[in-house]
């Protein structure tokens, strides 16, 4: 067992990394939320907030 595994080349990595992906958050506006009925709003908001935390924490996710 290792202490940590080496980081794979982001260009070749089939999985998502902060260096090989860009995250776009689109139209999270009150008027749009108001129309959403496929999911409970509180639950949706928790997930959207987590998505934002990803954008913030992965300093390279959209650079």
Partner 1 sequence: MLSTVYVKHGMSGTNVELREALPGVPEIDRTTMNSWEDPEFRAAVERSGRKKLIIAGLWTEVCVAFPTLDALRAGYEVYVVVDAIGGVSRTAHESAMQRMIQAGATPISVLGLACELQRDWGRPDANRLRAIMREYFDALKTLKG
Residues forming contacts to partner 1 in the complex (CB under 8 A) are: 2-5, 7, 15-33, 35-40, 42-58, 61-63
Closest CB 23 distance from partner 1, rounded Å: 5
Dist CA 20 CA 15 (whole Å): 9
Closest CB 9 distance from partner 1, rounded Å: 13
């Amino acid at each position: 067992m290792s202490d940590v595994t080496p980081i794979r080349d982001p260009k070749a990595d089939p999985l998502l990394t902060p260096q090989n992906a860009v995250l776009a958050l689109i139209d999270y506006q009150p008027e749009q939320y108001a129309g959403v009925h496929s999911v409970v709003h509180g639950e949706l908001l928790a997930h959207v907030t987590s998505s934002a935390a990803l954008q913030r924490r992965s300093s390279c996710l959209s650079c």
